[in-house]
Structure 1
């Protein structure tokens, strides 16, 4: 059986500034800024989805549970590894918008 691990994000809230032990997993891991988003990511993986499926589901949940952390004006950082081709791609969608940008 593949092991999938989620760190308890409430641990940090209950003891800010304290370090936690290392969490290890052999089959997958989900880490988000909100426990509900983490739960959704884990659910996607447990149902056979891949990391990209989980990331997309997590993004949707994050828009609901942490609306100030996503959407327009948010940052995007992504590293994608394609196991078939061995290719690694990175996306850095951070930075400020141009002054004259409009929607």
Structure 2
């Protein structure tokens, strides 16, 4: 399993726009070929900081998503709302306890 974590910071005036866009697109992202899991988190102490956390079957599935028209459209709208440079990590899941 391939995991992608993305940290994004928004100007306070753009948070509602971001959340509406995420709500509109989350099912299309989640059902994109290779995506197995998608969550959105909000920092408890800095309410303008958000994280997406997604599982992908492979790195190539994530790359196919990143090259898709779906991603390009979402990212174009989202990056215009940032107040800081986004950060992203691609990690391998080693263990999971339930």
Same-fold call, TM cutoff 0.5? no
Q: As a proportion of its length, which structure holds more strand?
A: 2
Which protein has the bigger helix share?
2
Q: TM-score, normalised by structure 2?
A: 0.28
Say which structure, 1 or 2, has more relative contact order (CA 8 Å, 6+ apart): 2
